Amino acid sequence: MPSIERRAIAPYLFFLPALLLFLAFSVYPFYLLTHTSLFEWDGISPAKTFIGLSNYWNVLAHDRVFWTSFSQAGTITLLALVLQNALALLLAIAVNRRLAGGTLYRTVFFLPPILSEIVVGLIWFWIYDGNFGILNEALSHLGLARFARAWLADPNTALTAVAIIHMWKGFGWGFVIFLAGLQTIPEQLYEAARVDGASAWLRFRHITLPLLVPVCVVVSILTILGTMQIFALIIATTGGGPGYHTEVPITRIFHSMLGTSRFGYACAQGIVFGLILLVFSLAQMRFQRRVS
Amino acid sequence: MTRIKSVRHLTQRGTCLTLLALAGSAVLLGIAGCGKPKAAQQPGPLRVWHWMTDREAAFDELARRYQQETGTRVRFELYAPSDIYVQKVRAAAQTGGLPEIYGVLGELRDLASFINAGHVLPLEEAMSRNGNAWRSVFFPKALAVNTFTRENAYGVAPGVYGVPVDVMNVQLFYNKRLLATLGLDQPPDTWEAFLDVGRRAAAQRLIGFVSGWAELWLIDCFATDYAIHEMGMKQVEATYRGKVPYTDPDWVRVLGRFAELRDSGVLAEGIVAMGNKRAEQLFANGQAVFAFNGTWGVNVYQSMNPALEYGVVMPPRTDPNRPMVTWGGAGSSFFVNAKSPRREEAIAFLTWLTAEPQQRYLTEATQNIPANRSAAADLPAPLAAFADDMDDTVHPRLFSVQEESTVIEAFDKGIQSILIGERTPEEVAARVQETKRLEASRRATRAARQEGGHAID
């Protein structure tokens, strides 16, 4: 082979192993997922029944619970986007001011994300317990016993209660990313603004916030993708109940696959779910480009 | 300059090919590692997969004794909780990695799928050897749960497929001390009396009734007990067949029992979010008057609070003229992997495991009712109460027809909705019936496709 041709091929040979891994562990499973979604299959039987797009039709047209689970995951996501990220930003700004014990705060704020979701779920289950829960005890001591309830079993509070746990566990990620973003903003900009007499709010509004937009977009994408895929926390606290009040898409997919042995249907649910997340991500990336 | 030279050197043919070969080998090895594991060259231990955390130590001890007696090594491998176990077994079945002996959790249709896929060895022949010697050691109901009849709907060849290790049923535990506090020396035997105890308990700020009703299957046990008690088995099966709608007044009445429970105040606060572990803690700590729990509760309460004084009764009747039933049958069962070359060794081990001495040891160590009848002859008091009622047990696997999983879910979730006061029994009945209609339509589509030759292997 002539030397020039060899040199032309060489770069492709270098990425061939990565390509093979990508095909084996991403493309092929996705093909299998799509293929299975066209069949009625219990996950064990040797025979599958081809049913075309029926699974998709049933997901889109008949599965009210699946769409309810979407809106519930959306509610948790919205709460996380606003409250969790606002808290993360606030704490990041506070720690960025070189407070005494800043390292300690960083460690403490980053503790919840590294805890197992199951452990976090169990801890909060004890807090929320309707019979001997810490929260109800605290309310009683404050003379607010009339507000005591089984927080995770009450349809009016269950979803919010789960969302609070999720936000508590998740704000540390946003905190770390926001803090990193804040530390990249040149100090001279603030000094110049101070010289010009800008108040703290104006400095935040006109320096910090615009320069943090790319970081905000990243944190938002991570929050949306992470929250929409919430699963272990739900399993550890409510299992999707009471009724269907804390069901989210992944618990429904899990239930279809292992609870009712409908593998084909679960695959169709997974693909619909994945496509919707993809649309969200693309929209956000476009938004980021526009803002940038 | 030297750096540029070394970069050029990298693109030279020999280095390129070596790197490529290494990377290719790594990928191929990785992919090969995902394939079916080859059968072991050397006979290793017989592997038994299970999910029973409470029996782990006892199983290990039995494995040690078996090796001492026969020289055959057995290794019990625990995968818990049961959700994880179900995933593990399914994944292993799909990749051909099942052990010699394993359990199948789930409904009858799941077991049928494993059998039809050739993963479960029929045990009819082994059970029939020496004049049905092995078959005769078991409680008939325990074996029946693992047996497919000639008329089964799944196309499974009739016969026995599983080996029960123990038997169980789910009943009402009551705390004797708390009952006395409420002015009673006997547990209530009628529904009204039971609700009344609930009202008294609520008045004294005691927790009346606990159960793991966040886990739908325990709700289903309770509901099935009362459906059969109030309607009879025929009507329940007729509903599953689609001949009687869930909107029938009898079903609405059964669902209404949950509204009565809710209104009486007998239920623990937040019972629909209560896992069974939490319910067991509350009862073991003497904080609840009643617990709806299975035979395994004896072992759990013993380990949590040995001083707890309790008794066990059947759930109270709503109609004194109709017999009460309770959900039960085989507790845990093992199956032999039909694709394992060591099938006979597996059968020999299970025969040994279900013989009287081993079953007695299991009972002593784990406080479960043995599947072997002789070993169950002189059980301690709480277990004896459970064993006495084994004849009154019902199990969905023994019904002549099984309900669709999606309908069961709609039914159980609907009961949760009643318990939290979100829906009326009539609304839940209508929703369940709608799910049943959709499921019937889906089945019809599937049947039509199968007739049209769309099934592929």
**CATH label, B46-167+330-390, candidates 3.30.450.40, 1.10.3720.10, 3.40.50.1970, 3.40.190.10:** 3.40.190.10
Please report the sign of the dihedral spanned by the C-alpha atoms of residue B403, residue B407, residue B412, residue B415: negative
What is the pLDDT, as a whole number, of residue B410? Answer: 94
Average pLDDT, rounded, for chain B:
87
Q: What is the mean pLDDT of residues A21-33?
A: 94
| Chain B contact for A61 (CB, 8 A cutoff) | no
pLDDT higher than threshold 80 for residue A6: no
Average pLDDT, rounded, for chain A:
90
Q: d(Cα A219, Cα A203) in Å, to the nearest integer?
A: 22
Tokens of residue B82, six digits: 């049961």
Q: Which residues of B touch A150 (CB under 8 A)?
A: 269-270, 273
Q: d(Cα A155, Cα A136) in Å, to the nearest integer?
A: 17
What is the pLDDT, as a whole number, of residue A82? Answer: 94
Whether residue B416 and residue A261 make contact (CB cut-off 8 A), yes or no, is: no
pLDDT (tens digit per residue) in A159-214:
999 999 999 999 999 999 999 999 999 989 999 999 999 898 999 999 999 999 88
Q: d(Cα A90, Cα B204) in Å, to the nearest integer?
A: 47
User: B357 CA to chain A: closest CA distance, Å?
Assistant: 36
Locate the chain B residue with the closest alpha carbon to A256. B406
**Residue extents of the structural domains in chain A:** 56-291
Tokens of residue B323, six digits: 């017999």
What is the pLDDT, as a whole number, of residue B446? Answer: 72
User: Is B439 within 8 Å of B407 (Cβ atoms)?
Assistant: yes
User: Is B428 within 8 Å of B415 (Cβ atoms)?
Assistant: yes
pLDDT (tens digit per residue) in B283-330:
999 999 999 999 989 989 988 999 999 999 999 999 999 999 999 877
Listed in sequence order, the residues at least 6 apart from A160 whose beta carbon sits closer than 8 Å to its beta carbon are: A79
Instruction: Specify the fold of A56-291.
Output: MetI-like fold (1.10.3720)
Locate the chain B residue with the closest alpha carbon to A234. B273
**Residue extents of the structural domains in chain B:** 46-167+330-390, 169-328+401-442
pLDDT higher than threshold 90 for residue A59: yes
Which residue among A10, A46, A154 places its CB closest to the CB of B11?
A10
Q: d(Cα B13, Cα B264) in Å, to the nearest integer?
A: 84
User: Is A252 within 8 Å of A40 (Cβ atoms)?
Assistant: no
Distances in Å between the Cα of B19 and the Cα atoms of A16, A22, B7, B27 are 11, 18, 14, 12
Q: d(Cα B215, Cα B228) in Å, to the nearest integer?
A: 21
Q: d(Cα B22, Cα A16) in Å, to the nearest integer?
A: 12
Which of A35, A44, A53 to mutate against chain B (most B CBs within 10 Å)?
Answer: A44
pLDDT higher than threshold 70 for residue A215: yes
**Burial grade of B24 (CB within 10 A; 0-12, 13-18, 19 or more):** middle
What is the pLDDT, as a whole number, of residue B39? Answer: 46
3-state SS class at B328: strand
| Chain B contact for A198 (CB, 8 A cutoff) | no
Q: d(Cα A235, Cα A250) in Å, to the nearest integer?
A: 10
Let me know the angle formed at the C-alpha of B227 by B224 and B230, rounded to the nearest 5 degrees.
Answer: 145
Beta strand segments in B197-287, E: 207-210
User: Is A87 within 8 Å of A225 (Cβ atoms)?
Assistant: no
The single-letter code of the amino acid at A212 is L
Buried-exposed string B96-127: b where 16+ CB fall within 10 A, e elsewhere: eebbbbbbbebbbbbbbbbbbbebbbbbeebb
User: Is B164 within 8 Å of B351 (Cβ atoms)?
Assistant: no
User: Is A249 within 8 Å of B395 (Cβ atoms)?
Assistant: no
- Fold: same for B46-167+330-390 and B169-328+401-442: yes
Q: d(Cα A73, Cα A250) in Å, to the nearest integer?
A: 10
Distances in Å between the Cα of B73 and the Cα atoms of A93, B44, B48, B70, B79 are 62, 7, 11, 8, 20
- What is the predicted ipTM? 0.81
User: Is B167 within 8 Å of B328 (Cβ atoms)?
Assistant: yes
3-state SS class at B369: strand
User: Is B165 within 8 Å of B362 (Cβ atoms)?
Assistant: yes
Q: d(Cα B100, Cα B347) in Å, to the nearest integer?
A: 10
User: Is B274 within 8 Å of A158 (Cβ atoms)?
Assistant: no
**Which run of H or E residues covers position B167?**
strand B166-175
Q: d(Cα B264, Cα B195) in Å, to the nearest integer?
A: 6
Whether residue A54 and residue B445 make contact (CB cut-off 8 A), yes or no, is: yes
pLDDT confidence of A286, banded at 50, 70, 90? confident
- Name which of A11-15, A66-70, A179-183, B5-9 the model is least confident about: B5-9
pLDDT confidence of A31, banded at 50, 70, 90? very high
The single-letter code of the amino acid at B298 is V
Q: Which residues of B touch A129 (CB under 8 A)?
A: 270, 278
Whether residue A243 and residue B413 make contact (CB cut-off 8 A), yes or no, is: yes
Q: How many helices (H) and strands (E) does chain A have?
A: 15, 2
pLDDT truncated to tens, each residue of chain B (457 aa)?
444 444 454 445 555 555 555 555 555 555 554 444 444 456 789 999 999 888 899 999 999 999 999 999 999 999 987 878 988 999 999 888 999 999 998 888 889 999 999 999 999 999 999 999 999 999 888 898 899 988 888 889 999 999 999 998 999 999 999 999 999 889 998 999 999 998 899 888 899 999 999 988 899 999 999 999 999 999 999 999 999 999 999 999 999 999 999 999 999 999 999 989 899 999 999 999 999 999 989 989 988 999 999 999 999 999 999 999 999 877 889 999 999 999 999 999 999 999 999 999 999 998 889 999 899 888 888 888 888 888 888 888 888 888 988 999 999 999 999 999 999 999 999 999 999 998 888 888 777 776 766 555 4
Listed in sequence order, the residues at least 6 apart from A270 whose beta carbon sits closer than 8 Å to its beta carbon are: A33, A37, A253
- CATH code for the part of the protein at B169-328+401-442: 3.40.190.10
Beta strand segments in B40-118, E: 46-50, 74-78, 101-102
| Chain B contact for A122 (CB, 8 A cutoff) | no
Whether residue A43 and residue B113 make contact (CB cut-off 8 A), yes or no, is: yes
**Burial grade of B83 (CB within 10 A; 0-12, 13-18, 19 or more):** middle
A·B CB contacts under 8 A? 149
What is the pLDDT, as a whole number, of residue A62? Answer: 87
Buried-exposed string A225-261: b where 16+ CB fall within 10 A, e elsewhere: eebbebeebbbbbbbbbbbbbbbbbbbbbbbbbbbbb
Tokens of residue B270, six digits: 């937040």
- According to DSSP, the β-strands at B207-210 and B288-294 are parallel
Interface of A with B in 91-110 (CB under 8 A): none
What is the pLDDT, as a whole number, of residue B12? Answer: 54
